[in-house]
Amino acid sequence: MLANPPQPESGDTVVLERTDTGESELTVSELMLVVDAIAKLGVQTLVLSGGEPLSRGEELFRVLQEAKKCGLKTGLLTNGIKPDHTPLSPDECRRLFDYCEWLQISIDSFDHTPYRQPDGSEKTRYMLIRGIDGLDIALTSLKNLRQGLSAAKPGSTGTLRDHLEICYTIQKDNIEEVAHTRALLEKNGLDWCWDLLRFKYAHGPEPINPDGKVSSSSGFLCKAEDIQRLIRTMSSDDHFSYLTDGSRFLPPDVALGQPTLGMAGRFREMGIPRKCQALNFTCTIDAFGHIYPCCFLFDDNSDRPDVRAKYHMGSLRPSNRESVGDDCFDLLRKAWQGGQLNELRSRDLMIDEKACCYCTRHIYNNEFLNKLQRALDTYGEHFDLENIEDILSSTPGAGLRAPHPYWL
């Protein structure tokens, strides 16, 4: 989610995360103050994530409108299903693209076929993953988003993929479907969606039962042998090159839910120090005003208070009061420029192997940006476009004509 060059004293991207704790979420008035402070800090891009941002209803549109008014380029991550289990309307989609530069919708299956379960019931893969019969709802939102984009940005010179992406998370309940995704899209008249798809491996710890053992019934991770079979099947398809490239992800690591577990060792073997460039470009603010270096050090996939406590950089709701105040900007700037974050920026990857092993989001950007940093150090004032093309061509999946080029 790296978008533009950073301002001299600010991060490029701030991610607002929604999580579930006993605290009350920031009110819409507080969110307005936070958005204003983010813009004042010099940030260029805002990403609203979840949980599910649509759970805030009309308040979400007010926050997005404020972000646009402040000059922020905003992205939204959603599953496309509103709290009342209805799709986004064409007008809501138009409004979203009035305010957002891009939107990612999460759809983890395109198969309407019901499969018999051990308890005798029949469920689609979408139901198994999401817990609701929501595939048709999500697909309706997807179609309306395409229509809404055309209505909101009629003169846009960009492609559909510049503004809309479909995120498909590969897990145990859909891994057998992945190789047939293109055929399923064509069957349902959704062949235009193929170029919008970005596949990623499921990551994070499996659910734990009260007895302390991993839950086998509600787990979501793939088996290593199933991942190896997928890699063999899809290795010749450029659409999957970044998933089948063994220099990044190893099947045993993916099966553990820790796709980048082996990266630290490979970095050391290369003998080249690698920093987490994400810490120079992003930070995360959760739905309660707490500030963290990034979504993975915050740990957005499980409730591990030890990780969160270690990397908590402050709160926009100081302990002496219950709401965000006029000092929001000062508190945010203090966290961004503070010694705690600067110390983390000085470390080599992995920053924290307990948390960073789940990171698939920043690993591609780090691959490129560390090469870019070394090139800047090498070429200095003679650095030019030809140097950038050399770096891109030596980074798998990052070429200027790659199926999924970097967002720069």
pLDDT at 400: 39
Dump the DSSP string for 47-61: EE-SS-GGGGTHHHH
Whether the upstream peptide bond of residue 270 has omega within 30° of 0, thus cis, is no
Residues present in the chain in total: 408
pLDDT at 26: 94
Question: How many angstroms separate the CA atoms of 265 and 273, rounded?
Answer: 12
pLDDT in tens, 210-267: 665 555 555 889 999 999 999 999 888 877 777 776 666 788 888 888 888 877 677 6
CATH classification for the domain delimited by 13-379, as one of 2.40.30, 1.10.10, 1.10.3470, 3.20.20: 3.20.20
Give me the helices (H) in 197-255, please: 224-234, 241-244, 251-255
pLDDT at 332: 94
Give me the helices (H) in 102-223, please: 125-130, 135-152, 175-178, 181-187
Is residue 200 classed as helix, strand or coil in its secondary structure?
Answer: strand
pLDDT in tens, 80-110: 999 999 999 999 999 999 999 999 999 999 9
Q: Where does the pLDDT of residue 394 fall: very low under 50, low under 70, confident under 90, or very high at 90 and above?
A: low
Closest CA to 243 of 169, 192, 164, 186: 169
- Residue 64 · residue 99 · CB < 8 Å: yes
Residue 130 backbone phi and psi in degrees, to 5 = -95, -20
- C-alpha count within 13 angstroms, C-beta hemisphere, residue 213: 4
Q: Where does the pLDDT of residue 376 fall: very low under 50, low under 70, confident under 90, or very high at 90 and above?
A: confident
pLDDT at 259: 84
pLDDT in tens, 113-161: 999 998 999 999 999 999 999 999 999 999 999 999 999 988 766 688 8
Question: How many angstroms separate the CA atoms of 23 and 277, rounded?
Answer: 31
**Residue ranges of the domains in the chain?**
13-379
How far, in whole angstroms, is CA 383 from its chain's centroid?
A: 31
Residue 17 per-residue DSSP state:
E
Work out the percent of the chain whose per-residue pLDDT is above 90: 50
Work out the percent of the chain whose per-residue pLDDT is above 70: 78
pLDDT at 90: 96
Residue 79, C-beta contacts closer than 8 angstroms, at least 6 positions apart? 52, 54, 105, 106, 107, 130, 134, 138
- Residue 126 · residue 168 · CB < 8 Å: no
pLDDT(404) > 90: no
Question: How many angstroms separate the CA atoms of 25 and 48, rounded?
Answer: 14
pLDDT(269) > 80: no
Tokens describing residue 217: 């019934």
pTM of model > 0.75: yes
- Residue 288 · residue 314 · CB < 8 Å: no
